[in-house]
């Protein structure tokens, strides 16, 4: 294990994040806005992190995909890949933000703005650690790659390009860490304290478009079922019970970990649930919300369209439905179940985007232990807990060839903060920027040389 260097941590991380937030890298608006802000963001990294820019090898592997390599003295060893994305979701102009979403306002010990948590804050703490270690003259025990994508919010073709290039080079990472989980407080009603929720797998993603056609005409003499009515009926049939509930291994491990944190009847109940996945699946499904999302494929109609006037029968109507595919399902099996549940040959189902759930990474290996050890430096009161990530991340493109892939941002996030991701008044505590840097610094300095 390499000797831990003495580190002088640079001040000003909040100001650096503020400048990142001020670049509106909205990937969904790339065609309208153009790529200038995305290019400026990469230039800003070079400006704010001069040692990183001078030392790490930088490759542009996609218009929005950037890979940085920090060479070690043992480049034959499997590398570590630290991932983040620098694009953000759009802002609804009608939303009432306390501070303008792209101002990067620093106030009350916080940085406010779109992307502070998703995902420029997690990106920044990686760079902070690398820059501080370079300033101390440190060299990692194995190569460290930084993989930054600029279109994660729009299906992540940049990450695909980077992953494909690594595969072409026959590089199998020892460890991959991307966004996903975070440090939370009181993760279950009977479990108090801090828990670092480390995603060992993630649900798949599928977006489908349901379309119905009908005869147009005057609304004064409608048919028994219009195109709008047919699509509405199809959507209405997609209830939460469309997909069966099943509990993946990660949930059992999560419950077992929590059981060690409590005593009495709560510990007994958690241990029993961990040992009986079918029972866990049924109970979580009945609870609804996040517990239900852990154990079943979710179906969410998100957009409806049809019609041109209030007195004209539409000749076509459509609905967009977003599914998050549970581990144990595939996009193909989900599509078959959708067709069976809708049970209407006059509804056309078009798959707009699809990716299968990831495999599950182990929570009993050296890589997970390395994450847990780094946590003791940044969040000493938090226990490392494996779980399944609901949202899609860029790391799903790496998990197909890298068995040790985890999803975790080393930042404490309150319930309100997690609700503000993709919402209003997104912010990060400055103290968490410091802890996030400590996590990555501890992780990098403790990497085993290995093979």
> What average pLDDT does the segment 287-298 reach?
90
Nearest to 64 by CA among 35, 93, 92, 44: 35
Query: To the nearest 10°, the Cα dihedral for 434, 395, 301, 336?
Result: -160
Arithmetic mean of pLDDT over the chain: 94
Work out the pLDDT band at 442, boundaries 50, 70, 90: very high
Enter the tokens of residue 423.
Answer: 């919402």
Which backbone phi and psi does 353 adopt, to 5 degrees? -155, 150
- Whether the pLDDT of residue 351 is over 70: the answer is yes
Q: What percent of the chain has pLDDT over 90?
A: 87
> What average pLDDT does the segment 212-241 reach?
89
Write down the pLDDT at residue 430: 98
Write down the pLDDT at residue 223: 87
Q: 394 and 159 in contact (C-beta within 8 Å)?
A: yes
CA distances from 230 to 213, 218, 223, 322, 342 (A): 9, 18, 11, 19, 10
Higher pLDDT, 242 or 290: 242
Write down the pLDDT at residue 324: 96
Write down the pLDDT at residue 391: 87
Q: 405 and 361 in contact (C-beta within 8 Å)?
A: yes
Residue holding tokens 């300095």? 445
181-210 pLDDT per residue, tens? 999 999 988 899 999 999 999 999 999 999
Write down the pLDDT at residue 4: 57
Please name each of the domains of the chain with its CATH number.
13-202+358-445 (3.40.630.10), 204-355 (3.30.70.360)
412-439 pLDDT per residue, tens? 999 999 999 999 999 999 999 999 999 9
Task: Specify the pTM.
Answer: 0.92
Write down the pLDDT at residue 132: 98
> What average pLDDT does the segment 313-340 reach?
95
CB atoms within 10 A of CB 219: 14
> What average pLDDT does the segment 44-67 reach?
98
- Whether the pLDDT of residue 1 is over 70: the answer is no
Enter the tokens of residue 27.
Answer: 């990937």
Q: 266 and 190 in contact (C-beta within 8 Å)?
A: yes
- Whether the pLDDT of residue 90 is over 80: the answer is yes
- Whether the pLDDT of residue 3 is over 70: the answer is no
Instruction: Label residue 221 exposed, middle or buried (CB < 10 Å: 0-12, 13-18, 19+).
Output: exposed
> What average pLDDT does the segment 279-305 reach?
92
Instruction: Label residue 5 exposed, middle or buried (CB < 10 Å: 0-12, 13-18, 19+).
Output: middle
Give the Cα separation of 168 and 180 in Å (integer).
Answer: 26
Which distant-in-sequence residues (6+ apart) come within 8 Å of 101 by Cβ?
A: 91, 113, 114, 426
């Amino acid at each position: 294990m390499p000797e831990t260097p003495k580190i002088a941590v640079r001040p000003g991380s909040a100001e650096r994040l503020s400048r990142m937030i001020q670049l509106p890298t909205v990937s969904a608006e790339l065609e309208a806005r153009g790529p200038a802000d995305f290019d400026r963001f990469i230039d800003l990294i070079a400006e704010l992190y001069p040692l990183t820019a001078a030392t790490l090898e930088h490759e542009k592997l996609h218009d929005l995909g950037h890979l940085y390599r920090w060479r070690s003295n043992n480049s034959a060893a499997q590398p570590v890949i630290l991932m983040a994305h620098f694009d953000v979701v759009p802002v609804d102009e009608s939303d009432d933000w306390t501070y303008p979403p792209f101002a990067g306002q620093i106030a009350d010990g916080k940085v406010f703005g779109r992307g502070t948590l998703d995902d420029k804050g997690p990106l920044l703490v990686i760079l902070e650690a690398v820059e501080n270690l370079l300033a101390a003259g440190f060299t990692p025990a194995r190569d460290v790659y930084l993989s930054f994508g600029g279109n994660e919010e729009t299906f992540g073709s940049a990450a695909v390009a980077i992953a494909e290039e690594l595969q072409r080079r026959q590089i199998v990472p020892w460890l991959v860490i991307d966004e996903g989980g975070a440090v939370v407080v009181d993760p279950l009603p009977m479990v108090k304290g801090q828990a670092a929720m480390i995603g060992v797998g993630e649900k798949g993603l599928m977006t489908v478009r349901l379309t119905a056609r009908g005869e147009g005409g005057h609304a004064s003499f409608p048919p028994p079922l219009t195109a709008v009515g047919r699509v509405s009926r199809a959507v209405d049939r997609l209830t939460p019970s469309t997909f069966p509930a099943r509990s993946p291994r990660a949930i059992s491990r999560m419950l077992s970990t929590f059981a060690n944190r409590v005593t009495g009847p709560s510990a007994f109940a958690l241990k029993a649930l961990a040992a009986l996945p079918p029972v866990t699946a049924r109970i979580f499904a009945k609870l609804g919300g996040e517990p239900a999302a852990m154990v079943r494929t979710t179906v969410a109609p998100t957009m409806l369209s049809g019609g041109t006037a209030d007195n004209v029968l539409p000749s076509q109507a459509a609905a967009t439905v977003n599914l998050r595919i549970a581990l144990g399902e595939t996009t193909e099996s989900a599509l078959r179940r959708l067709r069976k549940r809708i049970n209407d040959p006059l509804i056309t189902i078009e798959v707009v985007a699809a990716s299968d759930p990831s495999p599950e990474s182990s929570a009993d290996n050296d890589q997970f232990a390395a994450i847990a050890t780094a946590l003791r430096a940044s969040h000493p009161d938090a226990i490392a807990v494996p779980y399944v990530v609901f949202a899609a991340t860029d790391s799903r493109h790496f998990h197909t060839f890298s068995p040790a892939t985890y999803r975790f941002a080393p930042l404490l996030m309150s319930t309100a903060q997690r609700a503000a991701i993709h919402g209003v008044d997104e912010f990060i505590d400055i103290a968490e920027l410091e802890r996030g840097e400590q996590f990555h610094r501890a992780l990098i300095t403790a990497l085993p040389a290995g093979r």
